[in-house]
Each structure stands twice: as structure tokens, then as C-alpha cells.
Amino acid sequence: MQFLKWGAAAALALSLAQISAPAQAAGGKTLETVKARGVLNCTGHDGSYLGFAEVDDKGNWKGMDIDLCRAVATAVFGDPAKLKIVPISWAQRWPSLQSGDVDIVIKASGGTLSRDTELGLQFSMSYYLGTTKVMAHKELNLKSLKDAEGGTICIPAGTTIEQQVAAYSQKIGIKLEPVVIEKTEELEQAYFSGRCDLYAQWGPVLAIARVAKGKVEDHVILPDVIAVEPEVMILRQGDDNWVDVANWTLSALLFAEQEGITSKNVDEIKAKPTSPAVAKFLGAAPGMGKGLGLPDDWAYNVIKKVGNYAEIFDRDLGKDSPYKMDRDLTNLWNNGGVLFPLVVD
Amino acid sequence: MEMVVVAPPASGKLEDLKRRFFATPRQAVISLLSLSVIVFLVWKLLNWAVFSAVFDASGGPDACHAASGACWSVIAARWRIIFFGLYPYEEQWRSALACVTVVAMTVLSCIPAFWTGRRIALVWGVGAAVFYVLMKGGLLGLGFVGEEMWGGLALTLFIFVTTCLVGFPLAICLALLRRSELPWISRTTGLIIDGVRSLPLISILFTFAIVLPFALPQWLQGDKLYRVILGSALFFSAYQAEIVRGGMQGVPRGQEEAAMALGLSYWHRISRILLPQAMRNALPATINQFVISFKETSLVIIVGFFEILASGNAAYGTGEWRFAYVEVYAFIAMIYFVFVFSLSRYGAFLERRMSVGER
């Protein structure tokens, strides 16, 4: 009996400790905590995630996710260097955020129902629309997946892609022969050696595999979109101000692109704003920062020091990167994409 | 009576070879076949690794795409990441020096002249301090580099060495406690050891790195790296304690009784009579445990550390070098081999020296 009592007490204490700690960390004070610490803790990767978080020859982080971390750090401190990238594995993302190890997760992670409701997380707007796509050998002369009736398709094991491909091929009424392989290197080997006609994968990984093989023109990425996953910045539940900071940082990058403001011309435009909204945006007129708890010129700093959304994309994934990816759906609304900034009023 | 003269076995290497592999025609055929298979495989391997390989980084990845062999230029271009991880580029000489310190420290403690408690303690104390100051800086004009920037070989060595340094004394304590005559001590210790041993290392690492911060107050948490090392040292000590206990059981009971009869104190009995003999018995298993621990350092990748394997992933994890993962893994395997093989050779040397099994 005595033993049971103690066991129950210990279990209670442990569960209390587990509940109370994240509650403290999520007390709505993230911005203040970050400011007091003098550095933003943001996610990296435990190795490399091509195009999103990778390491250059000198050991510096680069990539789309890293640049977004830089943008948030710049919004808060006016200095992209006030950033600590914490290398983190996939499994560690949520515990690290909850324990306060990192202030924000920007790690090619989709916004899903269970993450939102069960894990106690909160999302920013989508910064990248991840699509599941299919690549095919050029000599097969496929226009779309519909032409691939009876073909073999390489699919990564243990992912949702398997179900997505099954559902999509059923929808368009064709039969495909799946080859399911666990390890990405092996999977790509199977496709490139010709064992599969097709290769289904998360879009960026496909594009990157094609470049890495060194023969971009021998493979076509079919226009079919098998499935869509909006990638979002992920934050702790219950800190609205911090969510605002993340959303408005992203929005600033998109707004600057929409208005044609780049890191090169931002000074000219700040001196001669094209509209009252732009003047406010760049801090030439007051009001941009106060409600967020940031300085009025935070957006100017972000654009000046990190660049607008297009500059970031081109540098990390697009035409100035080795991956040469198209913007596709991850484009502004007026260029055929689905991204849009919030209104600066 | 006629004497049967049996020809003595022919000496000379050639004769020996002939007798062993070409005694009968069938044997000769099998030998030749096996030999040609071996030659073919070795030639293939050499051709891939040496003759058709690209060593020069100046051609970049394109030179590799053109060649049929291995692409060692990925190592030439990215070796700094493999060895030093995310350590700041300009400061990487410090990380290199720190690795040399660990190796020197290990070599020194392998020399029998250093095998007195004071000298060993001096070597490791000074070595550990030098390593720490070099890596972390913030002293003597060295710039500060936080633990989250440590990586590559230096981090792997650091985790291994500190795990052993913390884990070994702990193991001896646990082993001694387990043979305590007070049942509540020996049973509790037994429970702890068996409890730790029945958990997978990876879950222990995950708990120490990620779950502990929820349960501990801020001031007790320390850096994630040290929590992980503590977890891995605990795991090491649980296994090592059983090895040491096994060694102790091999020491005849009479030895201790004789020491007691002579009026030696507990600490004398343990440190002069029991432990030296127990460690000799336990040596082969201990070396085994060290080798396993060295290789298990790669598990810290799961909690996001840039040890040498993760650094390897980062080394080929860029658009241009993505295809060259085999070469990077081969290179890392070589590094592991060099360290683990020297470790086991050192174990063999110790065994000879202590003539284990000859008693």
C-alpha cells in the first residue's frame, strides 16, 4: 500500500512537472524572452536537408528555412547574425519547441490537424507550398501521368506518398506498378538505373535529385500535382504576439516582392516611397512596429539585410541555386501562385 | 628389417603453397577459381577506389560525373565539415589541435611508464582541460565557441572520452555497491543497473536531451551536450559495472579473506588486492565495451548533434555533391576503423602484458 501511494505521488509530480514546464515556456512572452537573450534560437537540421537547411564548404548554414530564421532574427534585432541555429532531428522538432530549446520551428514542416490540435502548436501562414510530384525519364515522352498507364513507379516507403499516388492514379483511371523502397539514395538509384519509369516524391527533393544526378535534361517532372502540403512556421500555442511576428515577417517578404522592393533598391524607395503603405512599411512613416513590439523600421531591416521573398527563393532553391527550381504554386497571387501578403494599412 | 624412409615435409614457401592448395587436380581447380574471383574483386575495388577515381577537387563535381570511379574530390572539398562540423571556419585549427590532444592523451596513458594513479590523473586532467579550453575558448584570447557549434571528429572524440571518464569510475562504484553486504544497498544498485540495461541507449539519450528539461529546474539543466554525455555515461557504467563485477567474481574469495586476516583496511583490500586482479580478468570484455561505446557515439545524431556521421551527411548534403555519398561513408568508415582498430590492438597489447589467461 505504502509503495503504491509513493508511486502515485511520484507519477503525479512527474506529470505536473511535464505539464507546468511547457506552460511556462508558452506563457506568451516569447518575444521578450528572445530579446532578453539577445539571440533567436531557430531550427537547423541534424545533417542536411538540401535547399532548406544545408551547410556550405565553410560550415555556414544556408537554405530557405535558414533564411527565414534570419528574417525573423532581423525583424527582432535588426541583425541577421543574432541567430543561433540549433541542429535538430525530425523527431526532436516538437519537444524542442515545447521545452523552449528553440523559439520557432522552420523546418519544411506541414501544417496538419493533429499538430495543430493534439500537439498544442500554432502555425504561421504558409511560406512554401510543398507538392508531391512525379518525375519520368525523358525518352518515355510523357505529357502527364495519364500517359503512364501500366508504368512502374518508385515510391519512398513509410510515407503518405504511397497513399497519395494510389488515390491519384485511381482518380485519373490508370494503373501503376509501385516499387516501394525505404532509403532515399537507394530509391533514386532504382529510378535512375531504369528499374522504375516514374519516381514520386516531395517536389523539392525530386528537383534536387535531378540536379544531383547531373543530367537535368534527361528527366521531366510531370505537371500533375499528386498532393499539396503547405509548409508553415510552427510556434508554441498561446503566444499570439509571437505568431504575429512570424506572420508579419513572412508577409513583409511577400509584400516587398509584390511592391518590387528588393535589398538593392530598398534605400531609394524608402527615400521616395511610392505609396503611403510603402512608406509605413519601410518605416519612413510611423506605425509598422509598435503593435508587434518591434522597431518601426523592422521590415526595412529584413528586406535590406535578408532580401524579399523572391530573392530568398532564387538564392536557395531557384535560378541562382544549383537546384533551379520553378516557383510554381509557391509564387505570388499575381504570378500564378498562391502566396499573398497581408495588407499594410 | 628395412627402414621405411618417410620424406620430410618439403620446406620452402613454394613447396608449402603447392602442398596446401594444389595437392590434387580438383584442389588446384578450386584454388585457381577462388584466386581469380579474389583477384577480380580486388581489381574491381582498386579500379573504383584508385585507378578510375577522381582525387583532385579543382574539377569540381563535373569531373566526377565524367569519371567512372570513386569521387574522392568530395572529401577534398568538404573534409573540413567531416572533421570539424559547424565549428567556425577560421577557428578550426583549435578543433584540430583538440583532436590531437585527445589522441596524445590516449597514447600517453597507453605507455606503462604512466601507469601510476598520479601520472594518469595528471595526463587526463591536463589533457581534458586543454581540450576544453581549446574547443570552448573565451580564455587566453581565444574566441568563445558554444557547444552547439562543436562537431565532427572532435565532438565524437569528446563524447567518447568524457563518457568513459565519467562512466568508468561510476561503473567501479556501482560494482562495489552491488556486492555490498547490506541488502538494501546491493539490491537498489542491482535494480538501477538492470533498469538502465533494459532500456535502449537511444531512448536514454532522448530522455536526457529532451525530456529532462521539462522535469528539471533551469539551473540544474546544464547544456544539452552534457546531459547527453551524462546519459551515455550512465548507460556505459551499467554495462561496465557488470563486467567489473564479473571480474571480481573471478578473484578467489580467499584472497580477500587473507587480506582481512592481515588487517588491511577496506580501501586497501579493494584497491590493492581485489580491483587489480578483477580488472585483469575483465580486460577483454572492457576493451569490447570501449569499442562498442566509441561506435555508439553516432547515436547522438538523433538528438541533433553534429558528430562525425551527421557531419558526413552534411558533407554530401548539398546540391553538387549529393551523388557522392558512398565515398563520404567510406571515408567515415575508415576513420572509425583507424580508431577502433587501434583501440583493440591496444587491448591486445595490454592482454599480452598482463598475460591474461596464463595464470
> What pLDDT digit, counting tens, does each position of B166-204 carry?
898 899 999 999 888 888 998 999 999 999 999 999 889
Contact call for B210 and A95, based on CB within 8 A: yes
Query: Distance (Å, rounded) from C-alpha B9 to C-alpha A19?
Result: 81
In sequence order, what are the residues at sequence separation of 6 or more whose Cβ sits closer than 8 angstroms to the Cβ of residue A2? none
Contact call for B314 and A47, based on CB within 8 A: yes
Give which of B305, B318, B326 to mutate to test A binding, by max A Cβ within 10 Å: B318
State how far residue B86 is from chain A, nearest Cα, in angstroms: 5
Query: Distance (Å, rounded) from C-alpha A125 to C-alpha A109?
Result: 12
The answer to whether residue B58 sits within a structural domain is no
Q: What is the dihedral of CA B56, B61, B65, B66, to 10 degrees?
A: -50
Look at chain B and report how many structural domains it folds into: 1
Residue A139 per-residue DSSP state: G
In sequence order, what are the residues at sequence separation of 6 or more whose Cβ sits closer than 8 angstroms to the Cβ of residue A217? A138
In sequence order, what are the residues at sequence separation of 6 or more whose Cβ sits closer than 8 angstroms to the Cβ of residue A26? A98, A120, A236, A237, A238, A239
Q: What mean pLDDT comes out for the span B221-250?
A: 89
pLDDT tens-digit readout, B34-87? 999 999 999 988 888 887 777 777 777 777 777 777 788 788 878 888 888 888
Query: Distance (Å, rounded) from C-alpha B359 to C-alpha A3?
Result: 49
A89: chain B residues, CB-CB within 8 Å: 301-304
Nearest to B85 among A49, A59, A88 (CB): A59
Question: What is the per-residue burial (b if ≥16 Cβ within 10 Å, else e) of A180-202?
Answer: ebeeeeebbebbbeeebbbbbbb
In sequence order, what are the residues at sequence separation of 6 or more whose Cβ sits closer than 8 angstroms to the Cβ of residue A169? A145, A175, A176
Q: Where are the domains of chain A?
A: 14-108+239-335, 130-228
B319: chain A residues, CB-CB within 8 Å: 50-51, 208, 211-212, 321-323
Contact call for A208 and B319, based on CB within 8 A: yes
Contact call for A46 and B310, based on CB within 8 A: yes
What does the pLDDT read at residue A6?
A: 46
What does the pLDDT read at residue B7?
A: 58
CATH 3.40.190.10 fits A130-228, yes or no: yes
Query: Distance (Å, rounded) from C-alpha A305 to C-alpha A78?
Result: 8
B305: chain A residues, CB-CB within 8 Å: 46, 87
Q: How many CB pairs under 8 A join A and B?
A: 118
The answer to whether residue B263 sits within a structural domain is yes
Backbone φ and ψ for A45, nearest 5 degrees, come out as -130, 155
* DSSP track, A56-108: -TTS-EESHHHHHHHHHHHHHHS-TTSEEEE---GGGHHHHHHTTS-SBB-SS
Closest of A168, A288, A160 to residue A226, by C-alpha: A168
Q: Which of residues 64-83 of B touch A (CB under 8 A)?
A: 65, 77-78, 80-81
Nearest to A89 among B214, B302, B314 (CB): B302
State how far residue B172 is from chain A, nearest Cα, in angstroms: 29
What does the pLDDT read at residue A256?
A: 92
Amino acid letter at A136?
A: A
Expressed as residue numbers, the domain containing B207 is 76-351
What does the pLDDT read at residue A14?
A: 45
Q: What are the E-state strand segments in chain B?
A: 151, 306-307
Average pLDDT in chain B:
83
Look at residue A27 and tell me whether its pLDDT is greater than 70. no
For residue A203, CA distances in Å to A199, A208, A329 come to 11, 9, 11
Closest of A213, A344, A216, A193 to residue A278, by C-alpha: A344
Q: Is the dihedral of CA A25, A28, A30, A36 positive or negative?
A: negative
Q: Tell me the whole-structure pTM to 2 decimals.
A: 0.80
State how far residue A154 is from chain B, nearest Cα, in angstroms: 18
Q: Which of residues 32-61 of B touch A (CB under 8 A)?
A: 61
Search chain B and give the residue with CA nearest A316.
Answer: B319
Give which of B92, B95, B149, B210 to mutate to test A binding, by max A Cβ within 10 Å: B210
What does the pLDDT read at residue B312?
A: 87
Longest dimension (CA), chain A: 79
B148: chain A residues, CB-CB within 8 Å: 84, 86-87
Search chain A and give the residue with CA nearest B145.
Answer: A84
Closest of B276, B293, B274 to residue B339, by C-alpha: B293
Query: Distance (Å, rounded) from C-alpha A141 to C-alpha A148?
Result: 10
SS3 content of chain B, % helix, strand, coil (to 5): 80, 0, 20
- Among A75-84, A192-201, B5-14, the minimum mean pLDDT is found in B5-14
A58: chain B residues, CB-CB within 8 Å: 80, 89
What does the pLDDT read at residue B2?
A: 56
Q: What mean pLDDT comes out for the span A152-159?
A: 84
SS3 B179: coil
Nearest to B319 among A22, A88, A322 (CB): A322
Question: Domain A14-108+239-335 is classified in which CATH homologous superfamily?
Answer: Periplasmic binding protein-like II (3.40.190.10)
Closest of B246, B240, B242, B248 to residue B275, by C-alpha: B248
Give which of A16, A20, A41, A48 to mutate to test B binding, by max B Cβ within 10 Å: A48
Residue A336 per-residue DSSP state: T
Residue A49 per-residue DSSP state: B
Contact call for B303 and A92, based on CB within 8 A: yes
Q: What is the dihedral of CA A300, A304, A306, A309, to 10 degrees?
A: 70
Residue with cell 541577421: A80
Give the pLDDT band of residue B356 (cuts 50, 70, 90). Answer: low
Backbone φ and ψ for A120, nearest 5 degrees, come out as 70, 45
- The domain spanning residue B282 has which CATH number? 1.10.3720.10
Backbone φ and ψ for A54, nearest 5 degrees, come out as -135, 170
State how far residue A140 is from chain B, nearest Cα, in angstroms: 23
